[in-house]
Amino acid sequence: MPLSPAPRGGSSVTLPARVNAARYSMWAAAPLALFTFLASSPSATNVSVRVILIALALISPLVLVWVGLRITADAGPAPGATGREALRAGWDWTDMAAFLPLAAGAVLVTASVLVGLTQALDRSLQVSARTAVESFAGQAASYAAALAALVVLVVMRRGLRIRDLGWCLPRALGRLGWLPWLAVGVVGAGVALEIADWLGSFATQVLPNSPNTQCTAVRDEYGGYVAVAIPLVCLIAPLSEETIFRGFLYGWLRRRLPVIPAVLVSSALFSAAHLVVVLALPLFAVGVILALLYEYSHSLIPGAIVHGLFNLVGILAILGATAVC
């Protein structure tokens, strides 16, 4: 049945079924998130990480149940709003809190399906090729789960559109319209590569004993199968991460903070999410460039170009054995 919330102002509004669907999705994901974090904890080599995973396992179901319970109040219209705008509101901190556990719950479903299908179909492949294909399936499933969580929170819960997350044409620059942003994206990728290379060398000197686990993991998973890695690293990952870190996270921060603090916080979280200490500074700098591109272009497209080209150069260097891990 549709929900009829007590509005924040104006007359009562009956909300569509998508809001109920968002609520039930959160409740269904609660036990899945619990199991996902608990199942991940034994494989953690660091005691602190293991404790964090167990804590997330205990907290995540409570967060999802609580956010699901308050959907009715959150979905009420803003004072004076009418029509479609009465059903639309920007996402808030409760959406941010629900994102990680909701995505974790979705990972269990998507990974089970995709990896299971892959394992059933790739038995005739060599071991190295099978590892590459299954790595692709598992990582693609994780990104799909994260995007599914955004659909639940932003589209179903809030009634917003994909363009509200930044997937629209960049703002016009003179007579050429938005086309110059394509060139900005290409140039930005070159700038990002130079800065990241310099900061990476600096970090390696400061932290000589800190391994680049991302580099070694990519080589172990994909070996010489560049054609398998490129679609994930250069298309799926950039599109997904720009949606999450710039569209969703930075978009929320920017409504509450000035440009510089919002850029710094989102870039720090983007860097931390990669879980590689020696890459923290380079990825932070890249995050700053991507956030600024989104800020001034009003679109995720220029940043996605930078991100995709940046990853392309990186994956070719790693799998081509020119990078030192």
Query: pLDDT grade, residue 322 (50/70/90)?
Result: low
Query: pLDDT grade, residue 119 (50/70/90)?
Result: confident
Kindly tell me if the per-residue pLDDT of 9 is higher than 50.
Answer: no
- Looking at this protein, which amino acid is placed at residue 289? I
How far apart CA 97 and CA 35 sit, in angstroms, is 18
Q: Pull the structure tokens for residue 97.
A: 């809190």
How far apart CA 205 and CA 218 sit, in angstroms, is 22
Kindly tell me if the per-residue pLDDT of 16 is higher than 80.
Answer: no
pLDDT at position 94 is 93
CA atoms within 13 A on the CB side of 146: 20
How far apart CA 294 and CA 170 sit, in angstroms, is 9
How far apart CA 74 and CA 26 sit, in angstroms, is 15
Give the whole-number percent of the chain exceeding pLDDT 70.
Answer: 88
Give the whole-number percent of the chain exceeding pLDDT 90.
Answer: 58
- Looking at this protein, which amino acid is placed at residue 283? L
Kindly tell me if the per-residue pLDDT of 193 is higher than 80.
Answer: yes
pLDDT at position 306 is 98
Instruction: Select the highest-mean-pLDDT range: 45-59, 105-119, 294-308.
Output: 294-308
How far apart CA 164 and CA 196 sit, in angstroms, is 30
pLDDT in tens, 129-180: 888 888 898 899 999 999 999 999 999 998 899 999 999 999 999 888 999 9
Tell me which residue has tokens 């990853």: 311
- Looking at this protein, which amino acid is placed at residue 211? P
pLDDT at position 40 is 81
H or E segment at 181? helix 180-206
88: helix, strand or coil: coil
